[in-house]
């Protein structure tokens, strides 16, 4: 049974996580796709192609991506190379304290440049990427023409 995991499943957006795929056939070609929907409803995606090792595993921190959104060994590449489906959109988090970005990771058999609703992943999971840690206070700043926010640790 194929399984994809993100460890830790919930983390701050600037912290590294470990992505692993297990249960594949040795040397199997797979597509690892990450996607998220931002606060305006725009979809951002990245996809990379990997060949499983002799144990049937893929680890972006050890195994090179063969192509797609990036190539080579980039442990966090699947997150760093998220691109908008609509041109000229930027990934911006407005509600930094209220909710995380939910990044869905899916593994597909073979090399998939495009995936449709009819394509079923071999495995999937979801990662939470928070922008503010627990207990951090956000204080709005308004002084003259200056606008901003002060984030105070617990």
Report the alpha-carbon distance of residue 94 to residue 77 in Å, rounded.
23
Average pLDDT, the chain: 94
Q: Rounded to an integer, what is the distance from CA 18 to the centroid of its chain?
A: 11
Report the alpha-carbon distance of residue 5 to residue 25 in Å, rounded.
17
* CATH no., domain 3-152: 2.60.40.2240
Give me the mean pLDDT over the 100-128 stretch: 92
Provide the pLDDT confidence category of residue 96 given band limits of 50, 70 and 90: confident
Provide the pLDDT confidence category of residue 94 given band limits of 50, 70 and 90: confident
Whole-prediction pTM = 0.88
Are 107 and 2 in contact by the 8 Å Cβ rule? The answer is: yes
Whether the per-residue pLDDT at 106 is higher than 80: the answer is yes
Radius of gyration of the chain measured on its C-alpha atoms: 18
- Write the DSSP symbol of residue 137: E
Secondary element (H or E) of residue 31 = strand 29-37
Whether the per-residue pLDDT at 9 is higher than 90: the answer is yes
* DSSP strands (E only) in 61-154: 67-68, 83-84, 101-109, 123-130, 137-143, 146-152
Domain limits of the chain?
3-152
Q: pLDDT per residue over 50-85, tens digit each?
A: 999 999 999 999 999 999 999 999 999 999 999 999
Q: What is the pLDDT of residue 142?
A: 96
């Amino acid at each position: 049974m194929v399984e994809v995991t993100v460890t830790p499943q919930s983390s701050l957006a600037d912290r590294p996580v470990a992505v692993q795929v297990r249960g594949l056939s040795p040397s199997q070609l797979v597509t690892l796709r990450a996607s998220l929907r931002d606060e305006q409803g725009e979809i951002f995606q990245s996809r990379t192609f990997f060949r499983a090792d002799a144990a049937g595993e893929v680890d972006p921190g050890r195994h090179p991506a063969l192509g797609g959104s990036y190539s080579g060994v980039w442990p966090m590449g699947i997150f760093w190379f998220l691109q908008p489906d609509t041109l000229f959109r930027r990934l911006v988090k407005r509600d930094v304290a209220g909710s995380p970005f939910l990044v869905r990771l899916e593994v597909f058999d073979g090399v998939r440049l495009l995936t449709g609703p009819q394509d079923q992943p071999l495995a999937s999971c979801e990662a939470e990427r928070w922008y503010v840690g627990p207990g951090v206070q956000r204080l709005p700043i308004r002084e003259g023409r200056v606008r901003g926010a002060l984030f105070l640790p617990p």
